[in-house]
Chain A
Amino acid sequence: MATQLLTVSDLSAGTEDKPILHGIDLAVGAGECHVLMGPNGAGKSTLGHVIMGDPAYRVTGGRIEFDGADVTELSADKRSLAGIFLSYQAPVEVPGVPLYSFLRSICQMRPELKTTARKFRERVGAIADQLELDQGFLMRELNVGFSGGEKKKIEMLQLLLLQPKLAILDETDSGLDVDALGIVSRGIQAYREQVGGALIVITHNTRILERLEVDRTHVMVHGRMVAEGPAELIADIDKNGFERFEKCEDCGGCPMVGDAE
């Protein structure tokens, strides 16, 4: 039994004027791989951002515990330093900041990752090679003018560099061609092997999961967690879709399916 890393209890959250998440419960053990699935607009990305502490969302109820501490009120930067990582579905462009400067700065914030510039360069270079990313990108402005695939590779570069305890991958596979998907998948696999960190993979596409050993699968519909099950649930959803989960919406209580069934 893995040590509990993330515990989300009865979490409700939303934007200033719109509730999105309703009473979410989620438990992720250290080193576990969880998959979060659901139809468009189910609130999966919102849950990822709320766990990360994105100030665009407001928690209205419940709590988030990470690595034994209550982080519900903690700012995103502190959560990041505590070991939570969110890979953005659409990484933000930051003109004026070269990628190399950014990477060096975020590593300098973490005492465990501080190193000499030469070793840092070697490490970044090795990861870039692993992700088949031209090192010329390091001198370019962060995410500015990068293609969708390049942006996702840059996200993977940060993941492998920061070695977080928990990585939330928000549709990292979206917009990737077959080759790029393979490279990103290998990057995720490398994170699992080298860091042994926990994963929450938000996805619509099962191809990204082919190389991963999934521990649990969760299904969200309309801001509620409606099902939880083993890895086999993914194949079931792949075959039958989300229709049967969406039917739960008007039942008032959204009974758990999957294991519950």
Chain B
Amino acid sequence: MAEKDLAPELTLERVNVAPAQTWNRLRTNDITLTVPARGRKGDVYFSLPRLFEGVECGMGREVTDWVESQAADARYIEIPRGEKREEPIVVAVGAGEVADTGVMVRAGAEATIVVAAGAGEKNGEAGTSASLVRIIAEADARVHLHEYVGVGAAQQHLESVGISASRDARVDVHQYLLGGGTVALGFACDLAGERARVDLGCRYHAGGTEILDINEIVRQRGRNTRSELAYNGVLEDAARKGLRTTIDLVHGAKGAQGNEAETVLVLGDDVVNKTLPTILCDEDDVAGNHGATIGSVSPEQLAFLASRGLSRTDAEQLFVRALYEDALMHAPCPEARAVVENDTKGQSLCIIEEA
């Protein structure tokens, strides 16, 4: 116990920062996290090729440095040119584990990458887990990224992703953030090549006193690049959520288009929900849209659902349950499925019943 108390810690001040800031007093610009800092003196471990150092990651340089200092051997995977890898690349992190992964998807290749945080964890398990994933998608590459995060209420999880996409590369991202004491996720995608495209769908749920902090940045540098970011979440009880999304239409990105939209359902009186959608624009010939809808279940929806036998409480729970079921239905591998099943928070999932 005493040893645990003395475990060295490090405070990561103001990480997960959006490129454009708002008033500090709104307390939505960043998050400060306290993480363990285990000494690595004398360890010999494998680092990623230096090429990955140039990939911007969503949580920022400080978190990247911390993960590199704490992870065991970094894992490097390369998908050869033109090859379609059927088997997903799975990054599974449990309580207290830190993973550093680099994936090189060569020209015309295709890969599915799954980050599963929280599979197989036991109730009450504490600690900080983290995953850093950097992906380089060369021309015409296809990347499917699935992020499943569902850690315990006593846990903290950091997830930082960086992607660099070359000409005609396509990236689709499916994020299911199902809760945890503190979950901080940063995502950065650099659409560097012409016609590169990212489609991101993020679904999240936070309840109790959970904290969810998300920072997502898409830099559109190539001509005719495209980004579609969609967020849909449910917040209950006294959960606190901060979402910062930035589409950066960089000078020279003629014909680029970017859209971001969020719908959040607030079901608790003590919920704190902060959203900062931003479009940065330094080019004339571009289109960028953003919007956010925050609310409760509408009277029309409640009336419709009641006409099918669902009371207000049933209807509200339907939204939460549907999120978990959606995560389960789209789970690309057993590890992702295990995250959902492990994190149902007492939800009676229809699909789980059958298993």
Contact = CB atoms under 8 A, between A and B. Distances in A.
Interface stretch (B44-52, B218-226, B314-322): B314-322
Give the residue among B234, B308, B353 with the most A Cβ atoms within 10 A.
Answer: B308
Main secondary structure of the interface of B (DSSP, over half): helix
A147 B121 CA distance: 44
B341 to A, nearest CB: 14
Given A55-B299, A94-B304, A102 B318 contact: yes
Interface stretch (B236-244, B248-256, B323-331): B323-331
Contacts of A158: 308
Contacts, number: 93
B232 A96 contact: yes
A106 B304 contact: no
Nearest to A94: B301
B232 A106 contact: no
A116 B354 contact: yes
B308 A88 contact: no
Contact of B232 (A56, A76, A77, A95): A95
Contacts of B234: 96
Given A76-B306, A92-B300, A117 B351 contact: yes
B309 interface: yes
Given A96-B322, A97-B322, A108 B350 contact: yes
A75 interface: yes
Contact of A55 (B263, B303, B318, B354): B303
Interface string A31-58: 0000000000000000000001111100
Contacts of A98: 322, 325-326, 329
Contact of A92 (B304, B326, B350): B304
A92 B301 CA distance: 6
A105 B350 contact: yes
A105 B305 CA distance: 10
Nearest to B302: A55
B289 interface: no
Contact of B310 (A85, A92, A106, A139): A106
B309 A110 contact: yes
Contacts of B322: 96-98, 101-102
A7 interface: no
A175 B310 CA distance: 28
Give the size category of A's interface with B: 35 or more
A116 B300 CA distance: 31
Contacts of B265: 96
Contacts of A91: 304
Contact of A101 (B263, B314, B318): B318
Contacts of A102: 308, 318, 322
A233 B344 CA distance: 56
Contacts of B263: 95-96
A164 B314 CA distance: 20
Given A102-B318, A108-B350, A80 B308 contact: yes
A163 to B, nearest CB: 12
Interface in A199-236: none
Contacts of B319: 96-97
Nearest to A168: B307
B311 interface: yes
Interface string A143-176: 0000000000000001000100000000000000
Nearest to B233: A96
A186 interface: no
A109 B350 contact: no
A139 B300 CA distance: 22
Contacts of A105: 310, 314, 318, 321, 350
Given A94-B301, A105-B318, A109-B314, A76 B307 contact: yes
Contacts of A96: 232, 234, 263, 265, 319, 322-323
A109 B234 CA distance: 22
A81 interface: yes
A54 B307 contact: yes
Interface centre among B301, B309, B311 (most CB of A within 10 A): B309
A96 B353 CA distance: 21
A76 B303 contact: yes
B267 to A, nearest CB: 12
A22 interface: no
Interface of B: 232, 234, 263, 265, 299-311, 314, 318-319, 321-323, 325-326, 329, 350-351, 353-354
Given A77-B308, A86-B307, 14 more contacts: A77-B305, A77-B310, A80-B309, A88-B304, A92-B300, A96-B265, A96-B319, A98-B326, A100-B325, A101-B322, A101-B326, A106-B310, A110-B309, A117-B354
28 contacts: A53-B306, A54-B303, A55-B303, A56-B299, A56-B303, A75-B311, A76-B306, A77-B306, A77-B311, A77-B314, A86-B307, A88-B307, A92-B304, A94-B304, A95-B263, A96-B265, A96-B323, A98-B326, A101-B318, A101-B326, A101-B350, A102-B308, A105-B318, A105-B321, A106-B309, A109-B309, A116-B354, A117-B350
Q: Closest 4 CB pairs between A and B? A: A117-B354, A76-B306, A92-B304, A80-B309
